[in-house]
Chains A and B, each alone.
Chain A
């Protein structure tokens, strides 16, 4: 089965490692960690992830700024991003807080919940992609 590529960006190395180890136990994901936010753009272009998990508050560059750079980069613009954050409450998360179209997950998040979110985001993306490619091809006819 085709493994999905997940890029995890967080300045907390222990956290990115735990996420990687946990996601790898599912055998469904290939995970790359990035602990230095300013390097994350380069890493993303190189790794070509299917989905990005990232922290909001990081030294050097925060998650919001990083996300807008990805959006601005044609190569990375379509990659779904899930924010992992300590600044929202569980209830806000339960209510599906989104900001600028991004999904937010509160820390600490359990593996089960995390995998669900990743899968939802990926399938939504796939859906959208299909629709878009249809749309792209139709006018060409």
Chain B
């Protein structure tokens, strides 16, 4: 019935090769069919048109005579091949038109046979080779198409260069990026597309890759013509030939602008964050500074309030104590007159001791009143050195008793000091007395005066000072220093010596008000008084006063 049913008995035999024979010469057709009698299924047509139609059925190979009634020569092959490019074609020619057959092979025919020179072995082998060649060709094309689609469909830019830096390949994306066709790129170098500096860099990179035989990877920035700056991740690697010799480079790169921009943004955010943190820290520091300034002010206010309270209390106490003191004083006077002490020495001593104690108690009360008295000073120009000399004169008895020697180091021709003479003398006498008391075993007292211009540092009010009129930097002030060679003031006490009722002297020796009153008086003079320890021993009282305004 049909050919498939006739071939069905040889089920287990290898499937026969289906041959389409297009041949108009009956003897030739007969010969070929004879040669392919076993293992082949031959379908024979006698003209090209019928052949082209018949080829739509599945065939493994076509045997094509180039000279047919409806087509002659190379054109026969071309026509057929263009319509059935997938079919392997074996061209048959006569001895005298072999050159047509050669042309057909170079245009894609698998092989050619010369009529009259073929035998069974040759024909069968030619058929099988033709089929194999076509299969390989197809596989190659598939493979190429595979790689082609890989290279072209990846979202990467891909190129190759030879060892001299000429482009040998560029994928479509790369061509578009450069704005050139493939033909315009291949055979050219980087210098044809990029600024010289950049091209030199690219070539240097290529050389490095080739020298090291290693992959080079980097993020590079570039600006396409008329575009915005972009970043690309570049991977360059050496290209080897079959012998493993490096014959060029290839590169693949892709746009990482978004990533780099993101990183830049992140970095900027980091920087901004760091900056805000710095700002924050600065603000914090400012805050802490103003806080401590505020605390200082608060402390001063508290101290002032304390002083005021102490002052009011002192005034109250003074008044209350003075009345009983007045009674005692009068009583002492009365008893001193009334009792004859001539025969009784002890009574006289007792009365004298009581007088002294009374005098001391009165002194404390006087101090309290001085301290609490409303501040008013009568400032007039005086000679500072004269004030000190007369103050020293007031303590000369004490100096003698305590065996203290005095050295004066007065700066002559000082401008007059602005002072309330009685009040400032009280300050000087107090400081001198303190110095003498610090040297019960004797010692040396040094009184020094000089004038100086205040530095900005010195003009700053010392912490805790209740100065209402700060000195100005550059202001000329008169300084009095009273140094002793005593034991100094214990460091932990130094900060408290101006507090009322604070004393380092033994009970009965001091009122604890001397320096408190002194400071108050000095402050009324818009001046300062400071105490400090001297090295190796001793202490210094520094009293700074204003001179007449010039």
Q: Which residues of A contact B (CB under 8 A)?
A: 12, 14-15, 18-19, 21-22, 25, 57, 84, 86-91, 106-112
CB <8 Å contact, A12 and B327: yes
Kindly state the separation between the CA atoms of A88 and B337 in the bound complex, as whole angstroms. Answer: 28
Kindly state the separation between the CA atoms of A107 and B323 in the bound complex, as whole angstroms. Answer: 7
Interface residues of B in 322-343 (CB under 8 A from A): 322-331, 333-334, 337-338
CB <8 Å contact, A109 and B334: no
Kindly state the separation between the CA atoms of A7 and B318 in the bound complex, as whole angstroms. Answer: 25
Q: Which residues of the other chain, B, contact A90 by a CB distance below 8 angstroms?
A: 366
Q: Which residues of the other chain, A, contact B358 by a CB distance below 8 angstroms?
A: 108
How distant is A12 from chain B, measured CB to nearest CB, in Å?
5
Kindly state the separation between the CA atoms of A14 and B373 in the bound complex, as whole angstroms. Answer: 28
CB <8 Å contact, A89 and B373: yes
Kindly state the separation between the CA atoms of A21 and B337 in the bound complex, as whole angstroms. Answer: 11
Task: Tell me the count of chain B residues lying within 8 A, CB to CB, of chain A.
Answer: 25
Which single residue of chain B is at the shortest CB-CB distance from A112? B333
Q: Which of B318, B324, B326, B329 has the most CB of A within 10 A?
A: B326
How distant is B378 from chain A, measured CB to nearest CB, in Å?
11
Interface residues of B in 307-329 (CB under 8 A from A): 315, 318-320, 322-329
B255 on the A face (CB < 8 A): no
CB <8 Å contact, B319 and A87: yes
Kindly state the separation between the CA atoms of A107 and B373 in the bound complex, as whole angstroms. Answer: 16
CB <8 Å contact, A108 and B370: no
| 10 intermolecular pairs with C-beta atoms under 8 Å apart | A12-B323, A18-B326, A25-B337, A86-B318, A87-B369, A89-B370, A106-B322, A108-B362, A110-B329, A110-B333
B422 on the A face (CB < 8 A): yes
Q: Which 6 A-B pairs have the closest CB atoms?
A: A18-B330, A86-B322, A108-B329, A107-B326, A108-B326, A111-B333
Which single residue of chain B is at the shortest CB-CB distance from A105? B326
How distant is A56 from chain B, measured CB to nearest CB, in Å?
10
Q: Which residues of the other chain, B, contact A14 by a CB distance below 8 angstroms?
A: 327
Select which of B319, B324, B362 is within 8 A of A57 by beta carbon.
B319
Kindly state the separation between the CA atoms of A57 and B322 in the bound complex, as whole angstroms. Answer: 12
Which single residue of chain B is at the shortest CB-CB distance from A14? B327
Q: Which residues of B contact A (CB under 8 A)?
A: 315, 318-320, 322-331, 333-334, 337-338, 358, 362, 366, 369-370, 373, 422
Kindly state the separation between the CA atoms of A100 and B316 in the bound complex, as whole angstroms. Answer: 24
Kindly state the separation between the CA atoms of A120 and B512 in the bound complex, as whole angstroms. Answer: 37
CB <8 Å contact, B422 and A91: yes
Q: Which residues of the other chain, A, contact B325 by a CB distance below 8 angstroms?
A: 107-108
Q: Which residues of the other chain, A, contact B331 by a CB distance below 8 angstroms?
A: 18
> Contacts A12-B327, A57-B319, A111-B333: A25 and B338 contacting too (C-beta < 8 A)?
yes
Kindly state the separation between the CA atoms of A110 and B330 in the bound complex, as whole angstroms. Answer: 6
Q: Which residues of the other chain, A, contact B362 by a CB distance below 8 angstroms?
A: 108
How distant is A59 from chain B, measured CB to nearest CB, in Å?
12
CB <8 Å contact, B323 and A86: yes
CB <8 Å contact, A21 and B373: no
CB <8 Å contact, A84 and B333: no
Kindly state the separation between the CA atoms of A90 and B327 in the bound complex, as whole angstroms. Answer: 17
Kindly state the separation between the CA atoms of A112 and B334 in the bound complex, as whole angstroms. Answer: 11
> Contacts A90-B366, A108-B358: A25 and B334 contacting too (C-beta < 8 A)?
yes
How distant is B375 from chain A, measured CB to nearest CB, in Å?
13
> Contacts A14-B327, A89-B369, A89-B370: A108 and B334 contacting too (C-beta < 8 A)?
no
CB <8 Å contact, A15 and B326: yes
How distant is A114 from chain B, measured CB to nearest CB, in Å?
8
How distant is A85 from chain B, measured CB to nearest CB, in Å?
8
CB <8 Å contact, A89 and B322: no
Which single residue of chain A is at the shortest CB-CB distance from B422? A91
CB <8 Å contact, A22 and B334: yes
Kindly state the separation between the CA atoms of A110 and B359 in the bound complex, as whole angstroms. Answer: 11
Known: A107-B329, A108-B330, A111-B333. 8 other contacts (CB 8 A): A12-B323, A15-B326, A22-B330, A25-B337, A87-B319, A90-B366, A109-B326, A111-B330
How distant is A63 from chain B, measured CB to nearest CB, in Å?
13
CB <8 Å contact, B366 and A89: yes
Which single residue of chain A is at the shortest CB-CB distance from B333? A111
Which single residue of chain A is at the shortest CB-CB distance from B359? A108
Kindly state the separation between the CA atoms of A112 and B358 in the bound complex, as whole angstroms. Answer: 16
Kindly state the separation between the CA atoms of A122 and B216 in the bound complex, as whole angstroms. Answer: 122
CB <8 Å contact, B319 and A108: no
Q: Which residues of the other chain, B, contact A18 by a CB distance below 8 angstroms?
A: 326-327, 330-331, 334
CB <8 Å contact, B323 and A15: yes
CB <8 Å contact, A15 and B330: yes
CB <8 Å contact, A108 and B366: no
Kindly state the separation between the CA atoms of A15 and B373 in the bound complex, as whole angstroms. Answer: 25
Kindly state the separation between the CA atoms of A77 and B315 in the bound complex, as whole angstroms. Answer: 32
Q: Which residues of the other chain, B, contact A21 by a CB distance below 8 angstroms?
A: 330, 334
Q: Which residues of the other chain, B, contact A108 by a CB distance below 8 angstroms?
A: 322, 325-330, 358, 362
Select which of A89, A91, A109 is within 8 A of B329 by beta carbon.
A109
Which single residue of chain B is at the shortest CB-CB distance from A21? B334
Select which of B320, B327, B338, B422 is within 8 A of A15 by beta carbon.
B327
How distant is B339 from chain A, measured CB to nearest CB, in Å?
12
Kindly state the separation between the CA atoms of A57 and B334 in the bound complex, as whole angstroms. Answer: 25
CB <8 Å contact, A19 and B319: no
Q: Which residues of the other chain, A, contact B334 by a CB distance below 8 angstroms?
A: 18, 21-22, 25, 111
Kindly state the separation between the CA atoms of A82 and B320 in the bound complex, as whole angstroms. Answer: 20
Q: Which of A57, A84, A89 has the most CB of B within 10 A?
A: A89
Which single residue of chain A is at the shortest CB-CB distance from B362? A108
Q: Which residues of the other chain, A, contact B370 by a CB distance below 8 angstroms?
A: 89
How distant is B140 from chain A, measured CB to nearest CB, in Å?
126
Which single residue of chain A is at the shortest CB-CB distance from B322? A86
Kindly state the separation between the CA atoms of A100 and B318 in the bound complex, as whole angstroms. Answer: 24
Kindly state the separation between the CA atoms of A14 and B325 in the bound complex, as whole angstroms. Answer: 11
Which single residue of chain A is at the shortest CB-CB distance from B365? A86
